[in-house]
């Protein structure tokens, strides 16, 4: 019996062809497409026309050798600039010739570790690299060779090794020391902290460097914060003209200011606060039963710092103050930040006051701003105020309890009800506090306590900030909003997938509001996954920014919001003060009509804020590592706070210290990195390590110079039987084969958005 003729496979649709090209890790030509869909000669003619249409429509781009890819796809070999590390410690890069104005944000490129014997890549390096696409807009890069670039700055400790000068870098990614040739030490002595410039040298072996600055002994007080200052290029010296202007400052005249010196305004700050830029007062609103009249008085920095003057230029350059455990890099010189602009008790100080009226449910019913002269009744701490409210006043607070402190808490209760009704994102995560002794070394690492007195001040400040934004918006004046976008669909989808593994769900299609996340947090509270859910929700959030374009503040559940309450330490607040002075015709120091572009300023201030946060975090990491350095070998309880392709990040429960468990030290197996579910899973032994999981670890290595700590799991891994000899195989493939994960599209946030749903696999030897 004759066989029936074989039926031809159906010709693929335009969408199916496009999906095939987009999902391919490499550019493809007509031959590969035709082979994949089993096309004959007629089909190839039709395919050519479809590809032309897709190219005309902008859905495809044609590269060399008539090969196609999704628009924005990078070539397999290209020049990259190393830009730094993401939140999980992975080295990032960007294409050298990427035009962001024309093409939008560049794709995410994660660099594979360098080959054995090659020095680690660092920020500022320029390399020719081979790229492999691991997801939509996500690549893994592997350097082919380094390219010439401007000498990069190096910071480290000068050592003498066998009569030869060496520099041990402060950068934890630097795997090798630098050699200092004879005559290039700049007078450095062993143990000195130095800055150096890389010198041309051979690719193999140690690189050479020349000492350019000797900064003092590494074990000297304040050396750790000095590393952060130089490492993050923080402006730490004021120009001479700015210093001269600050020294010439004096008391502001009363003039047309409202005299509030008899009002018992008080400052409430931490015991270690160095400047006082806000004072508060509350009294019942006699016109509205249950309502309150609040006063939030803020230091009038705009009186002393005028648009375009020397102080203004240096303040804008810094963007904000930076706070370290042992010093401050202030936005303004000390004569202002700790002097004329600091609301010291019993001293006359100029201020800008927000008068706020709220009803019994904390709703802001009306507000107005005025320039005034105040005299702080007392400098109080959070602990003092809370103790007084709890019935334990001291000599200072005893006379303030009835008329000052009690009304503040009454107003706070109303504001707290409003916060609850709005559904403010309720992530109250612990914060580390480094306590130093008289020698400048760490005496204790503790978690900062949180009292209602902290929350009281926060709610007063938030209400004043809202009033400032409403005032400027009503008057159509420029406002530097503090914006916080809602989480991207990609992040919400990733969060939803992770939550489903522990029985929690986010209903599909609902409008994302902060109260949705609060419901998830409430369901997890008290359970075994509480910490994991907190971490997942935190990581799903967008980053707050400064912008003249208002999109609201998602986390605070507010339609409009700006920063008004800290002009001593934030330039954004100074801009808001100037705009309020202009809008209210309150005198000198107003915002000028020919001011710099607000959009550009918002980007700059967002950058300086992130720079400061990174510098502060790096310093705390180094102080913490210094504190634990003599406890190598000790065991600790902690939690997994990050899961990456190369290991597990651990946070210790008692000190909040962070460190890494390298994937090579996990029990012998191939480990699959499941990014969507934030876990590593052993392919053979079934062991799973999940974000938020409680673990017991041993401290293996602590390096105060870099702030890096290495831990080892106490779950049966034996470092003496081959444990600790595994390696991660970049590219998501263990030796001997293994499937790669499929890609999916994401946003542009380098730490989470834009990362494909991929499987990284690890091999242990």
**Sequential DSSP letters for 529-552:** THHHHHHHHHHHSPPPEEESS---
At 730, the pLDDT band (50, 70, 90 cuts) reads very low
Round to whole Å and give the CA distance between 642 and 649.
Answer: 5
Range with the lowest mean pLDDT among 494-498, 603-607, 639-643? 494-498
Q: Which CATH architecture has domain 14-69?
A: Orthogonal Bundle (1.10)
The pLDDT of residue 461 is 98
The pLDDT of residue 653 is 87
Q: Is the distance from CB of 316 to CB of 603 less than 8 angstroms? A: no
CATH code of domain 632-763: 2.40.50.140
Q: Is the distance from CB of 616 to CB of 228 less than 8 angstroms? A: yes
Average pLDDT for 332-357? 96
The pLDDT of residue 477 is 92
At 23, the pLDDT band (50, 70, 90 cuts) reads low
Task: Copy the structure tokens of residue 468.
Answer: 């400032």
The pLDDT of residue 507 is 78
Within 13 Å, how many C-alpha atoms sit on residue 539's CB side? Answer: 29
**Of 110 and 367, more confident:** 367
Reply yes or no on whether the pLDDT at 539 is more than 70. yes
Q: How many of the other CB atoms lie within 10 Å of CB of 33?
A: 21
Average pLDDT for 687-715? 90
What are residue 481's phi and psi, to 5 degrees?
Answer: -70, 150
Round to whole Å and give the CA distance between 17 and 35.
Answer: 12
The pLDDT of residue 425 is 92
The pLDDT of residue 765 is 29
207-217/178-180 β-pairing:
parallel
Q: How many of the other CB atoms lie within 10 Å of CB of 735?
A: 11
Judged on CB neighbours under 10 Å (0-12, 13-18, 19+), 707 is buried
Beta strands in 96-136 (DSSP E): 108-111, 126-135
Q: Is the distance from CB of 745 to CB of 490 less than 8 angstroms? A: yes
Q: Is the distance from CB of 663 to CB of 762 less than 8 angstroms? A: yes
Of 548, 482, 552, residue with least CA distance to 512: 552
Q: Got the DSSP string for 279-294?
A: EEEEEE-TTSTT-EEE
Task: Copy the structure tokens of residue 96.
Answer: 């050298």
HEC string of 302-313?
HHCCCCCCHHHH
Of 562, 354, 537, 554, residue with least CA distance to 460: 354
Judged on CB neighbours under 10 Å (0-12, 13-18, 19+), 348 is middle
Q: Which of 111-120, 192-201, 633-642 has the highest mean pLDDT?
A: 633-642
Of 57, 306, 228, residue with least CA distance to 615: 228
At 743, the pLDDT band (50, 70, 90 cuts) reads very low
Q: Where in the chain is the domain with CATH 1.10.10.10?
A: 14-69
Range with the lowest mean pLDDT among 41-45, 305-309, 479-483, 757-761? 757-761
Strand partners, 697: 636, 713
Strand partners, 547: 481
Round to whole Å and give the CA distance between 499 and 693.
Answer: 14
Task: Copy the structure tokens of residue 658.
Answer: 């962070």
Round to whole Å and give the CA distance between 19 and 36.
Answer: 12
Angle 553-557-559 from CA coordinates, rounded to 5°: 60
CA dihedral sign, ordered 453, 459, 464, 468: positive
Round to whole Å and give the CA distance between 567 and 344.
Answer: 16
The pLDDT of residue 721 is 33
The pLDDT of residue 132 is 84
Q: Does domain 77-147 have CATH number 2.40.50.140?
A: yes
Rg of the chain (C-alpha set): 29
Round to whole Å and give the CA distance between 66 and 57.
Answer: 17
Average pLDDT for 93-118? 74
Of 331, 261, 257, residue with least CA distance to 301: 331
Average pLDDT for 164-193? 88
At 506, the pLDDT band (50, 70, 90 cuts) reads confident
Q: Which residues have C-beta within 8 Å of that of residue 725, sequence separation ≥ 6?
A: 664, 764, 765
The pLDDT of residue 457 is 97
At 719, the pLDDT band (50, 70, 90 cuts) reads very low
Q: For residue 654, give the DSSP letter.
A: T
At 91, the pLDDT band (50, 70, 90 cuts) reads confident
Of 50, 70, 46, residue with least CA distance to 59: 70
The pLDDT of residue 712 is 93
Q: Where in the chain is the domain with CATH 2.40.50.140?
A: 77-147, 153-220, 632-763
The pLDDT of residue 752 is 33
**Of 563 and 148, more confident:** 563
At 7, the pLDDT band (50, 70, 90 cuts) reads low
Report the C-alpha dihedral over residues 227, 651, 426, 448, rounded to 10 degrees. Answer: -60
Range with the lowest mean pLDDT among 26-30, 512-516, 520-524, 617-621? 26-30
Reply yes or no on whether the pLDDT at 536 is more than 50. yes
Reply yes or no on whether the pLDDT at 410 is more than 60. yes
Q: Is the distance from CB of 195 to CB of 186 less than 8 angstroms? A: no
CA dihedral sign, ordered 152, 612, 105, 316: negative
What are residue 714's phi and psi, to 5 degrees?
Answer: -100, 60
The pLDDT of residue 72 is 53
Round to whole Å and give the CA distance between 554 and 550.
Answer: 12
Question: Looking at the domain covering 153-220, what would its CATH class be?
Answer: mainly beta
């Amino acid at each position: 019996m004759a066989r029936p003729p074989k039926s031809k496979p159906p010709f693929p649709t335009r969408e199916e062809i496009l999906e095939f090209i987009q999902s391919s890790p490499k550019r493809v030509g007509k031959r590969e497409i035709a082979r994949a869909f089993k096309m004959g000669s007629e089909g190839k003619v039709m395919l050519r026309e479809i590809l032309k249409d897709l190219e005309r429509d902008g859905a495809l781009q044609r590269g060399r050798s008539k090969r196609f890819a999704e628009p924005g796809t990078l070539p397999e070999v290209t020049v990259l600039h190393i830009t730094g590390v993401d939140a999980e410690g992975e080295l990032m890069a960007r294409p050298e010739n990427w035009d962001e104005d024309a093409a939008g944000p560049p794709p995410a490129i994660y660099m594979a570790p360098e080959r054995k014997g090659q020095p680690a890549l660092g920020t500022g390096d320029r390399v020719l690299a081979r790229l492999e696409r691991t997801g939509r807009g996500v690549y893994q890069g592997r350097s082919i060779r380094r390219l010439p670039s401007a000498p990069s700055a190096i910071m480290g400790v000068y050592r003498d090794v066998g009569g030869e000068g060496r520099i041990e870098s402060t950068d934890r990614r630097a795997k090798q020391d630098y050699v200092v040739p004879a005559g290039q030490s700049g007078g450095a002595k062993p143990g000195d902290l130095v800055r150096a410039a890389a010198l041309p040298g051979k690719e193999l072996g140690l690189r050479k460097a020349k000492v350019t600055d000797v900064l003092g002994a590494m074990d000297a007080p304040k050396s750790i914060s000095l590393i952060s200052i130089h490492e993050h290029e923080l402006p730490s010296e004021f120009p001479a003209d700015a210093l001269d202007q600050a020294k010439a400052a004096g008391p502001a005249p009363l003039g047309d200011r409202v005299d509030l010196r008899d009002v018992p305004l008080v400052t409430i700050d931490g015991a270690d606060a160095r400047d006082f830029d806000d004072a508060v007062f509350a009294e019942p609103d006699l016109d509205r039963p249950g309502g309150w009249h609040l006063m939030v008085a803020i230091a009038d920095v705009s009186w002393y710092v005028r648009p375009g003057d020397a102080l203004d230029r240096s303040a804008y350059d810094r963007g904000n103050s930076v706070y370290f455990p042992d010093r401050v890099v202030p936005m303004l010189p000390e004569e202002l930040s700790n002097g004329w602009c600091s609301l010291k008790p019993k001293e006359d100080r100029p201020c800008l006051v927000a008068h706020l009226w709220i009803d019994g449910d904390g709703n802001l019913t009306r507000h107005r701003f005025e320039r005034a002269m105040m005299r702080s009744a007392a400098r109080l701490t959070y602990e003092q105020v809370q103790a007084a409210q709890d019935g334990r006043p001291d000599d200072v607070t005893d006379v303030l309890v009835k008329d000052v402190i009690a009304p503040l808490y009454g107003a706070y209760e109303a504001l707290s009800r409003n916060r609850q009704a709005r559904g403010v994102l309720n992530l109250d995560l612990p914060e580390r506090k480094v306590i130093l002794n008289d020698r400048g070394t760490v005496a204790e690492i503790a978690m900062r306590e949180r009292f209602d007195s902290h929350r009281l001040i926060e709610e007063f400040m938030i209400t004043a900030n809202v009033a400032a934004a409403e005032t400027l918006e009503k008057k159509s004046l420029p406002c530097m909003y503090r914006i916080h976008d809602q989480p991207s669909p990609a992040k919400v989808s990733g969060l939803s997938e992770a939550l489903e593994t522990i029985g929690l769900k986010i209903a599909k299609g609902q409008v994302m509001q902060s109260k949705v996340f609060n419901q998830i947090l409430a369901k997890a509270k008290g359970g075994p996954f509480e910490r994991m859910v907190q971490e997942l929700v935190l990581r799903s959030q967008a980053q707050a920014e400064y912008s003249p374009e208002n999109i609201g503040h998602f986390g605070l559940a507010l339609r409009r919001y700006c920063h008004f309450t800290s002009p001593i330490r934030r330039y954004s607040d100074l801009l808001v003060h100037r705009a309020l002075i202009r809008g209210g015709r309150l005198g000198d120091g107003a915002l000028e009509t020919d001011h710099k572009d607000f959009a550009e300023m918002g980007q700059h201030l967002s950058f300086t804020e992130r720079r400061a946060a990174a510098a502060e975090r790096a310093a705390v990491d180094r102080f913490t590592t210094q504190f634990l350095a003599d406890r190598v070998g000790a065991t600790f309880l902690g939690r997994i706070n990050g899961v990456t392709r190369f290991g597990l990040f651990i946070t210790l429960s008692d000190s909040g210290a962070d460190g890494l468990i390298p994937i090579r030290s996990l029990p012998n197996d191939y480990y699959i990195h499941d990014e969507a579910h934030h876990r590593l899973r052993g392919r053979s032994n079934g062991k799973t390590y999940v974000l938020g999981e409680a673990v017991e670890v041993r401290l293996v290595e602590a390096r105060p110079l870099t702030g890096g700590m290495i831990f080892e799991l106490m779950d049966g891994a034996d470092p003496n039987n081959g444990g600790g000899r595994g390696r991660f195989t970049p590219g998501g493939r263990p030796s001997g084969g293994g499937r790669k994960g499929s890609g999916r599209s994401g946003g542009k946030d380098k730490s989470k958005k834009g990362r494909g749903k991929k499987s990284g696999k690890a091999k242990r030897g």
